[in-house]
Structure 1
Amino acid sequence: MPQKILLYCDPGIDDSLAIIYALLNPEIELVGIVTSYGNVNQEQATQNVAYLLELGGKEDIVLIGGAKTPLSGEFTPYYPEIHGEEGLGPIKPPATIKGELLNFDAVFKLIEEYGDELIIVDVGRSTSLAISFNLAGAETMNSVKGFYIMGGAFLTPGNVTAGAEANFYGDPIAAGIVMEKAKNSVLYPLNVTKEAIITPTMIEEIVKEDNNPYQNLIKEIFDYYFKAYQKLIPGIEGSPLHDVMTLFAVTTPQAFKYVEKVVTVGLDEGNLRGVSIADFRPKPDEKGNKLTIALEVNTDTFAENFVKTMSSPISNNH
């Protein structure tokens, strides 16, 4: 049986490739997508998701409007130099949404419908997931099978500041709520996601045959993303697909090595903002909600799975 997933995201190139990966993966059944601000504003993120669903003839997947700003209400900077003006690199999706954008309470209807068959995957800022906990309460939210979250960095450099990863930095208050309240949670920090390198050679392999409606799009947005990363990290051989790796982990948890830790998130406006903190001492002083944290990954398994999945015909699970 494919795994039912409710995806929280903010597309963005990386998120868009993650959505395509989910739609092409026979082991995943995407039952809903919550769109939030992050890489682009919430309205643009919604248009991008609607465009991807329409391309694949998957407009029946529930589309839910998420957060437009962080819990602090502060201004959010976007990154057009990495994701393009509209979040899909050089692609300009149509401004119309054919499907219906549902209100936020649709999240709780899906949880009620699927219960412990559902995994919630959050690859964007934590705002919408934190709001879900604030509105429904921890008991309802934790009635799902578990949470797979992309965020944080442990004993490794951040990617927005020296210590902070982008999702946690974008809304540290929300990230802290999720770390404290989400049970059965697995966190995929930069430690593993920065290793999710996809190279131009892999993309060439994917587009060699015309198997699905996404192949041209995959190449165009990847090429844009790769050029952006070559400027950020001179000499890099490909682009890290942080969000795709988090979805890969749902179906292939054995590709990772994990530890269990209590995680807190720095709130201070200085150097600690958005920094994920866990106690790695031999005798840690830990009280609170323990999360499973992925610290190592088999990159060959990921790369093989990515090429195979993205070369596949569209899955009929949805």
Structure 2
Amino acid sequence: MKNIILFADPGIDDSLAIIYALLNPKIKILAIVSSYGNVTKEQATDNIAYLLKLAGRTDIPIIGGTNIPSSGETPRHYPEIHGEEGLGPIRPPEDVKGELTNFSDLYNIIRENQDITVVDVGRNTSLASLFQLGENVSGIIKEFFLMGGAFMVPGNVTPSAEANFYGDPIASQLVLTNLDNIFVVPLNVTNRAIITMEHIKMIQEMTDNPVIQIMDEVMEYYIEAYKKLIPGMSGAPLHDVLTLFLMVNPDMGRTIRREINILTSNDGRGTSIADFRVSSKPSEKNINIFLDFNYQGFIEDFIKVMSSSENS
């Protein structure tokens, strides 16, 4: 079983990743760090609390992450993709308000557990803060999985940049420079992790779990948003779910070990660069970029996990 600390900014895709992690018997969530990103930190926190309540897992602490990127600028949110409040048409009940645990408690969680994997599927500001404010977590945490970057494909925010690395490229570069045992799951891979409404309906027919019963409304909104971006698309990619899938099933993906640099300003902001030439050498540190994955294995796993009757 993987002991994970999940950094998230839900957001539809992050929300489905949280559900996947809650239901996956191979994953134990030690804490969820709530930060700005797809929505404000306050809204992200309420969304996390709502999902945990539906899943009957209010025992999982919600850690208060960062409100703004390292630059201090006002963050850009994406209501056209995720809805005004991050869950498409769904609004968490007024009485569901997330109670945040102090960020410093993360260090206690890290010290009290072993073989921890950090999974960051949002902006990397909070993860960078974890490194900057405390001891050398890279020597304590087993591995880091990041959803971010775009290699050899267009970005989804600018012609070259993916949203997470674009949101705080300074933090992303700090993380990639100072931490080790990093696995990056980029847009060129996650774009192919497409889930359709047929998959969702199949899952809902197999379980009456309350946290699953909201998935049709959420995914319908998400898929319609993607159809506007990519006409004719039959579903929508679950970038963050794929990151968790590859964390649990690394043999279902193919990686290459390369150094990553991220441009931090001007038109190139958020652009991720790695040298994929045949003559290039592996990075000195253990930084791995996923290049491919087993799509059929992903679909089968997603249906199996999401239709399970019990929370992990």
- TM-score band, normalised by the shorter chain? over 0.9
Counterpart contact for 1:111–1:141, Cα < 8 Å: no
Aligned to 1:27: 26
Counterpart contact for 1:176–1:265, Cα < 8 Å: yes
> Could you tell me which of 126, 131, 152 is aligned with 1:133?
131
Q: Which runs of 5+ in 2 are unaligned?
A: none
Deviation at 1:216, TM superposition (A): 1.8
* Deviation readout 1:57-77 (Å, 9 max, x if unpaired): 111101101010000011112
* Deviation readout 1:72-114 (Å, 9 max, x if unpaired): 0111121111111110101110244566410101111111111
Judged with a 3 Å threshold, the aligned counterparts in structure 2 of structure 1 residues 309 and 287 are, in CA distance, closer, same or farther, namely closer
Aligned residue for 1:162, secondary structure, equals: coil
Separation in structure 1 between the aligned mates of residue 144 and residue 251 of structure 2, nearest angstrom: 17
> Could you tell me which of 265, 268, 275 is aligned with 2:265?
268
Aligned to 1:232: 229
Aligned to 2:109: 110
Aligned residue for 1:59, secondary structure, equals: coil
Aligned to 1:295: 291
* Deviation readout 1:143-170 (Å, 9 max, x if unpaired): 1110011000111111111110000000
- Find out whether 1:160 has 2:194 as its counterpart: no
Aligned to 1:119: 117
Counterpart contact for 2:257–2:282, Cα < 8 Å: no
Separation in structure 1 between the aligned mates of residue 116 and residue 197 of structure 2, nearest angstrom: 34
Aligned residue for 2:227, secondary structure, equals: helix
Separation in structure 2 between the aligned mates of residue 22 and residue 253 of structure 1, nearest angstrom: 16
Aligned to 1:197: 194
Deviating more after overlay: 227-236 vs 88-97: 88-97
Separation in structure 1 between the aligned mates of residue 199 and residue 97 of structure 2, nearest angstrom: 33
Counterpart contact for 1:10–1:38, Cα < 8 Å: yes
Separation in structure 1 between the aligned mates of residue 158 and residue 24 of structure 2, nearest angstrom: 34
Deviating more after overlay: 289-298 vs 277-286: 277-286
Aligned residue for 1:215, secondary structure, equals: coil
- Find out whether 1:144 has 2:141 as its counterpart: yes
TM-score (norm 2): 0.96
> 1:228 corresponds to which letter in structure 2?
A
Judged with a 3 Å threshold, the aligned counterparts in structure 2 of structure 1 residues 288 and 69 are, in CA distance, closer, same or farther, namely farther
Separation in structure 2 between the aligned mates of residue 50 and residue 204 of structure 1, nearest angstrom: 25
Separation in structure 1 between the aligned mates of residue 168 and residue 288 of structure 2, nearest angstrom: 21
Aligned residue for 2:137, secondary structure, equals: helix
Counterpart contact for 1:181–1:289, Cα < 8 Å: no
Aligned-residue RMSD, C-alpha:
1.4
- What is the count of residue pairs matched by the alignment? 312
Q: Which runs of 5+ in 1 are unaligned?
A: none
* Deviation readout 1:245-299 (Å, 9 max, x if unpaired): 00111111111111000101001221x1100011112222676644111001111
Deviation at 1:210, TM superposition (A): 3.1
